[in-house]
A = this chain, B = another copy of it.
Amino acid sequence: MSSYRPIGPVVGMVGAGQLARMTQQPAIALGVELRVLANAPDESAARVIVDTRIGDYRDLSDLRDFAKGCDAITFDHEHVPTEHIRALAADGFTVHPGADALVHAQDKAVMRERLTAIGAPCPAWARVSGVEDVTRFAGEHGWPVVLKAVRGGYDGRGVWVCRTAEEAAEAFAAGVPLMAEAFVPFERELAVLVARSPHGQGVSYPVVETVQQDGICVEVLAPAPGLDPERAAQAQNIALRIAHELDVTGLLAVELFDSGAGLVVNELAMRPHNSGHWTIEGARTSQFEQHLRAVLDLPLGSPAMAAPVVVMANLLGGDDPDLFKRYEHVMAHDPGVKVHFYGKQVRPGRKIGHVTALGDDLDEVRARARHAAVYLTTGEYT
């Protein structure tokens, strides 16, 4: 890289998964020089980004080397130690989101404390250090109790829905700090994606419905079908308010339970999010472009939808490692469906790509996305 002279602003993204990979697409258009910190040269984003540095995101000296020359540092995941982010900022590097914001996406107990303080709707919750705490919590709020790893869980990992003290004991066997939340009997899950720039400009994408299987998002419907406009506005306001109160810079995804009676915040993420992949074709500004604009403190792009209905379906690895041989059928069957592969080896259950369909009619668009996703991953014709 020694002879390489950047022309545009340099954004360094720590992590080289599919989120960094997809961020490269708008970076190419914007003339933003995207740099990633990868664990290994064959990671998803490393395959498509020239300025890939290999290093350990848990090592402050690797992070410092990586940050040199970047106009902004941001993240493809939440796993960089909070104290390292503080250290980078103290060095004078521009980091978005900052440590004081990001900690709310890293530490679920800190997040619950803060959301409770600002009046955002949360389930009953408590820090718990053993089964007795859980039993006490259940005495007040009833079983089941949801135990969550305070740090490090994702895609359903680090979450235990416990119906008894015995099940709670099994969760503690994982040996990580846990917190308890009351189980929310929800009708469906929603997500709101907002972006906020250091200037304080905020925009919200339409509220979407996320469909989960075994704790993993399998489908996103944009906009959330049949959602009452007032409740949609309420969800967007919650997300924009959290972004403002927590001083989030970049994207904020707020996952919500829709309990019928009201909305409850489930999780926060401060990066491009699976619930926003539909925006690549489905919105005038993709979430990945929006994140780059936000972390560079550029004016934000229009979040308007590019079609009345957009459905995204995740591709979860099956038993067959070769997806490409089924490409042909999917493309021939539906010339309008958009396929995204992440350049990852297929492993059962692993997110290896997604498909997006756009149109006017939810049932039709959803059937198209589902057909493509099921066929690509299993070879079954739905």
Contact = CB atoms under 8 A, between A and B. Distances in A.
A301 interface: yes
Given A24-B28, A340-B29, A341-B30, A298 B331 contact: yes
Interface in A284-305: 284-285, 293, 298-302, 304
A13 to B, nearest CB: 14
Nearest to A285: B335
Given A41-B3, A50-B48, A306-B306, A8 B341 contact: yes
A121 interface: no
A31 B342 contact: yes
A33 B9 contact: no
Interface residues of A, number: 56
Main secondary structure of the interface of A (DSSP, over half): loop
A328 interface: yes
Given A25-B25, A29-B340, A31-B342, A331 B42 contact: no
A326 B342 CA distance: 33
Identify the interface centre among A3, A27, A31: most chain B CB within 10 Å of its CB. A31
Nearest to A51: B47
A186 interface: no
Contacts of A323: 31
B336 A42 contact: no
A7 B344 contact: yes
A21 interface: yes
With most chain B CB atoms within 10 A of its CB, the pick from A5, A280, A284, A293 is A284
A4 interface: yes
A74 interface: no
Contact of A47 (B33, B280, B358): B33
A327 B33 CA distance: 15
A210 to B, nearest CB: 21
Interface in A185-234: 203
Interface in A1-19: 3-5, 7-9
A162 to B, nearest CB: 40
A365 interface: no
Nearest to A40: B3
A343 interface: yes
Contacts of A3: 41-42
A49 interface: yes
A286 to B, nearest CB: 10
Contacts of A306: 306-307
A332 interface: yes
A323 B304 CA distance: 26
A4 B41 contact: yes
A8 B343 contact: yes
Contact of A30 (B5, B9, B339): B339
Contacts of A338: 29, 284
B22 A28 contact: yes
Nearest to A332: B299
Contacts of A335: 203, 284-285, 299-302
Nearest to A50: B50
Chain A to chain B: the 10 pairs with minimum beta-carbon distance, closest first: A31-B341, A299-B332, A299-B331, A302-B335, A302-B336, A29-B340, A25-B25, A28-B48, A284-B336, A301-B335
5 contacts: A7-B345, A8-B341, A29-B338, A284-B335, A285-B336
